Structure 1
Amino acid sequence: MRGVRGLAAVIAACALAVACGGRPVRTADAPPTAGSGGVPVDPVSSLPKLADKSAAAEGVTTLRTPIPTDAVMALVRRLFEAFHEREPALIEPDLDDVIVDLRSESEPTRPRYTIVNEWRARMKSTQAYEQLDVEAMYRSQDVEIWARDELGLPGRPSRPSSMGEGDLLVRIPVATPRLAADVLFGEEIKLLLRRDGARYRVRGYGEVLPK
């Protein structure tokens, strides 16, 4: 009720001011207009840009909530689960529309379906993937996750030229590249991950299979 009385008092004051020849009263919600020496003001200010990190010289930015490392590790596991189940559909939703081939220095790109078809052919060629547990394919404690500015230094992996700010390079040493005479994986797998909202997608893939 206190708010209603206050509003009534404001309305009465406005009516009295107009009746006495006073200037119209502008409410707080109405933007100022040009005229009578006033300066136009845009009532809608632009939102700060989103970023993963910010420097003082960049002005006002809104830092995005970091994606937990567990989300990256879960994506890595889905990749190996897809091979274990011999079903590429388990990992396909995590792939970008265009995949960078990290095996070549020129880093050519190719449509997602081409790498999915390659994986499907590999999965169908041998049943050994089913015979090997996911935990035996790779060891989670050996997985390396690198930010862009951490790469290119002595003793560290090289930085892919297609890697952007906020991307991650994931290096996965393969624990069991072979099972008997069957070649399952290369010695290591590299993933280039790019943020897509609150998740990562595979932007690049690199794996050299032994001949």
Structure 2
Amino acid sequence: MAIDPASAPPLARDTASTEGGLVTLRTPLGVDQALATVGAFFRGVVLEDNDSLEVLFTRDALALNISTGNPGGSPSATLFWTQRLRRLDYTKLAGEIVYREPEVEIYRADDAIDASPHPAIRAEALGEGDVVARVPIATARVGSDRLLGDEVVLWLRREGNRYRIYRIVEDFQLP
């Protein structure tokens, strides 16, 4: 009687070559997972909940402002949003429509983009499993207070069965 112990399957990947013989592919995450991350981000902002925002960011997440060029480097997204929540009152957005989910555009690396709707959206720069969400903002200001840019672009990276934010691109200056 021959006993062949079961070996562990190879680690799951988004893509793989058949040259290795046995491969394990993971199912791509749906658009609903990207939209869930977008929704969680804006809920955290409106509730001014640093803890829920921090969970959404990767450890190396950056906040980018393409209009300034930011010669001094890009700040950590966690630090940038902590400062924003201290300086501005985002609870004023409670009850307002911040963005409309049907208007959110999702781009993947294999999407062919003829004319990018935003300078930060470059599908060729995305890694395996990454997506970009372009979120047009419906309510950027409340009264005279500008709280958000006209659009927010979130670069999302797959971690397990969800997306986390690793870049936020917005045309916004802290007052």
Task: Calculate the TM-score normalised by the size of structure 2.
Answer: 0.78
Q: 1:137 aligns with which of 95, 98, 102?
A: 98
The answer on whether the counterparts of 1:143 and 1:170 sit within 8 Å (CA) in structure 2 is yes
Matched residues, percent identical?
A: 32
- Please tell me the residue identity of whatever aligns with 2:2: A
The answer on whether the counterparts of 1:81 and 1:134 sit within 8 Å (CA) in structure 2 is no
CA distance in 1, matches of 2:123, 2:60: 16
Report the RMSD for the aligned CA atoms in angstroms. Answer: 3.1
SS at match of 1:145: strand
CA distance in 1, matches of 2:19, 2:133: 30
Instruction: Name the structure 2 match of 1:193.
Output: 156
Which runs of no fewer than 5 residues in structure 2 stay unpaired?
none
Q: 2:3 aligns with which of 11, 26, 29?
A: 29
CA offset digits 1:139-180 (Å, max 9, x no partner): 1111111111215x2133541675212111111111111112
CA offset digits 1:77-136 (Å, max 9, x no partner): 111112211222121111101024554589x9867xx32232222223233x22223651
SS at match of 1:154: coil
The answer on whether the counterparts of 2:63 and 2:80 sit within 8 Å (CA) in structure 1 is no
The answer on whether the counterparts of 1:98 and 1:110 sit within 8 Å (CA) in structure 2 is no
Compute the displacement of 1:198 (Å). Answer: 1.5
Q: Which has the larger radius of gyration?
A: 1
CA distance in 2, matches of 1:181, 1:60: 60
SS at match of 2:60: strand
Instruction: Name the structure 2 match of 1:77.
Output: 39
Compute the displacement of 1:62 (Å). Answer: 1.7
The answer on whether the counterparts of 1:102 and 1:160 sit within 8 Å (CA) in structure 2 is no
Instruction: Name the structure 2 match of 1:67.
Output: 29
CA distance in 1, matches of 2:20, 2:2: 32
Q: Which has the higher contact order (CA 8 A, sep 6+)?
A: 2
Specify whether residues 165 and 63 from structure 1 end up closer, same or farther in structure 2 by C-alpha distance, changes over 3 A only.
same
Q: 1:156 aligns with which of 116, 130, 138?
A: 116
Instruction: Name the structure 2 match of 1:181.
Output: 144
The answer on whether the counterparts of 2:96 and 2:139 sit within 8 Å (CA) in structure 1 is no
Compute the displacement of 1:190 (Å). Answer: 0.9
Which runs of no fewer than 5 residues in structure 1 stay unpaired?
1-26, 31-42
User: How many residues matched?
Assistant: 168
